[in-house]
């Protein structure tokens, strides 16, 4: 990888490293990830939690509806190192935020490093 793609990938790794929040993944069947063995090997899972509000303007009655949109940003390199494939309906627990979220749908990537999922609150 060269040029702008390499610069973007390095920047995304740096952002995830600085702003990623430690979390755990559970699909309800397998042990939670990262496992104790993975943690002992220096592996971890981080996520960035994004919340924004979408404004829907109604053609009827002049109503405005605000819809929260929440998504998580994972790092592909971390997922690969953990051998983790994210599955719809699985739970992500972010202790630092005191929240558990359920993976809803994977969004299209905008490059090789970030993995995006919309979520709902558990």
pLDDT in tens, 66-92: 778 899 999 999 999 999 999 999 999
Per-residue buried b or exposed e for 59-91, using 16+ beta carbons within 10 Å of the residue's own CB: eeeeeeeeeeebbbbbbbebbebbebebeeebb
The answer to whether the predicted template modeling score (pTM) of the entire model surpasses 0.85 is no
Mean pLDDT of 27-37: 94
For residue 32, pLDDT over 70 is answered with yes
pLDDT averaged over every residue in the chain: 89
Whole-number pLDDT of residue 84: 97
The CATH number given to 3-121 is: 2.40.10
For residue 43, pLDDT over 70 is answered with yes
Confidence of residue 45 (pLDDT cuts 50, 70, 90): very high
């Amino acid at each position: 990888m060269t040029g702008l793609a390499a610069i973007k990938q390095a920047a995304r790794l740096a952002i995830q490293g600085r702003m990623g929040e430690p979390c755990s993944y559970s699909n309800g069947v397998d042990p939670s990830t990262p496992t104790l063995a993975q943690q002992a090997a220096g592996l971890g899972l981080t996520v960035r939690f994004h919340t924004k509000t979408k404004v829907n303007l109604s053609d009827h009655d002049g109503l405005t509806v605000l819809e929260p949109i929440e998504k998580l940003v994972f790092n592909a390199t971390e997922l690969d190192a953990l051998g983790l494939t994210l599955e719809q309906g699985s739970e992500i627990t972010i202790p630092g935020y005191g929240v558990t979220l359920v993976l809803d749908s994977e969004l299209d990537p905008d490059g090789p490093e970030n993995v995006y999922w919309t979520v709902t609150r558990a």
